[in-house]
Structure 1
């Protein structure tokens, strides 16, 4: 039997071209990737550099413009207005603030606390002050005042009783007052006014709205008289009236209009006399 002829093949020789081709192809891919990465890195560095340079230029321009404005006459205060303090003198407020025309605008915009403290200390009705800038060099002092609880009658004038339990600076005429607020009379001493305010603030909100006059002109220091907007008069004791005032509406319904309701010791009512109506200015 004839022997089959075997051809010997070296696999490495057969695969060598393919391997070399793949190796060359991979090297090209790697070189392409590295080249692309380097290009992207350079581009990103250029963009980052331009961004930093742009930021530096913008900041520098702003600083130059700001410095130029600060040293120019435009930065000097041209005028000062006051808003929110109708009963106070605007000129007096500006003078008390210490602001002068030769001062720089930014000195007060960035140091508002100093102006606020001066005015709050000077005027009891001022709660806070905020400074605003308009038209480059015009300042506006925006004043926020304490709310008004009522008015203390001093002679023929009236002074605000503020929510911080202090009195307003100015004495005004009745025509300029909020006539819906109660009037406190006969409380010339600070201690008695504080006691009357403490009593008044202890009343329910609905009852406080109906009080027209709170009078300390009484026979006894412990006694208090309330003239109501509905035409009734309430007499009570300073220490007990806050607990008895809850009976007022029920007694008023039975007593009717223009009655004297006495809550000082017990609880009774009677019609007001003609002389009492005149004394309490009830028509």
Structure 2
């Protein structure tokens, strides 16, 4: 019988064959340990952060509570009562009367008035038209400072031997001023016995160009007609105009005065012409 050939025998190394599987298992176990360590570290860090956040919140609550208690304690104590009131920014107005009108008392609390500025402004401006608004500041611990913001002065109304401010809201100030208290570059309104004519002339004056208004020294209500307005200029000229048309004609003034010269009457009421002032006119308008 023919003998069958032997098949070659392949030797297998179990270690070599199992090595990839074992390595994979080992890597998985190692990664698992690492992941567990990371998770543990993350949880620990999260817990620490939560504890810190809780401490911060508790600290903030305690701080706010302590400040609130301290503030409340100060508010109800006599130290929070107003000791002095200082008024600034109202040189022409009587300080004592302003405080009296404001009804601020020594028993009042300083902080109450810091939140009542609008009411205080309304109260004082109702009594004194010169006052536009009032700002309240804290000076020392219990000193109240009233900062008075006055209205812009358009001119002055001659009232007998005294003068009153004409304000930018067309109202008249309460305080009677002597000549030394009058701002000299502002115009004087004279002869105005009727409030209606004064309001109309002030309104017209406010509508004129600033360059022209700066040249006006005096406005007179001693006119021949209700529609007429008389302006005495700082250069010694007198301008007569119509209430309706003056605003459109004032731009002729510079050219006419350059031709007319000093101490001229420039009539812009009907047309536009000029002539020298008479002696009686100079006396009537206070021009020398």
- Which interval holds the TM-score relative to the shorter structure? over 0.9
Contact 2:170/2:203 (<8 A) preserved: no
The residue that corresponds to 1:5 in the other structure is 9
Asked if 1:239 is matched to 2:248, the reply is no
- Residues 140 and 233 of structure 1: CA distance in aligned 2, closer, same or farther (over 3 Å): same
Match of 2:181 among 176, 179, 184: 176
The residue that corresponds to 2:35 in the other structure is 30
Q: Which has the larger radius of gyration?
A: 2
State TM-score, norm by structure 1: 0.95
Within 5 Å, give how 1:41-80 maps onto structure 2: 41-80=46-85
For structure 2, which runs of at least 5 residues remain unmatched after alignment?
none
Superposed CA RMSD in Å reads 1.6
Contact 1:98/1:115 (<8 A) preserved: no
For structure 1, which runs of at least 5 residues remain unmatched after alignment?
none
Structure 1 counterpart SS, 2:120: helix
Cα offset, 1:16, TM superposition: 4.3
State TM-score, norm by structure 2: 0.93
Contact 2:153/2:168 (<8 A) preserved: yes
The residue that corresponds to 1:205 in the other structure is 210
Distance, in Å, in 1 between the alignment partners of 2:155 and 2:134 is: 23
Distance, in Å, in 1 between the alignment partners of 2:239 and 2:106 is: 56
Q: Deviations over 1:224-268 (max 9, x none)?
A: 211100010111222222222221111101100111112222322
Distance, in Å, in 2 between the alignment partners of 1:268 and 1:23 is: 112
Distance, in Å, in 1 between the alignment partners of 2:7 and 2:120 is: 119
Greater mean deviation of Cα atoms: 232-241 or 78-87? 232-241
Dislocated runs of 4+, deviation >6 Å: none
Asked if 1:142 is matched to 2:150, the reply is no
Asked if 1:272 is matched to 2:280, the reply is no
Match of 1:123 among 112, 124, 128: 128
- Residues 245 and 23 of structure 1: CA distance in aligned 2, closer, same or farther (over 3 Å): closer
Match of 2:98 among 93, 97, 100: 93
Cα offset, 1:220, TM superposition: 2.2
Structure 2 counterpart SS, 1:168: coil
Contact 1:147/1:163 (<8 A) preserved: yes
Distance, in Å, in 1 between the alignment partners of 2:144 and 2:19 is: 92
Greater mean deviation of Cα atoms: 136-145 or 114-123? 114-123
Structure 2 counterpart SS, 1:5: coil
Match of 1:282 among 255, 267, 287: 287
Distance, in Å, in 1 between the alignment partners of 2:208 and 2:70 is: 60
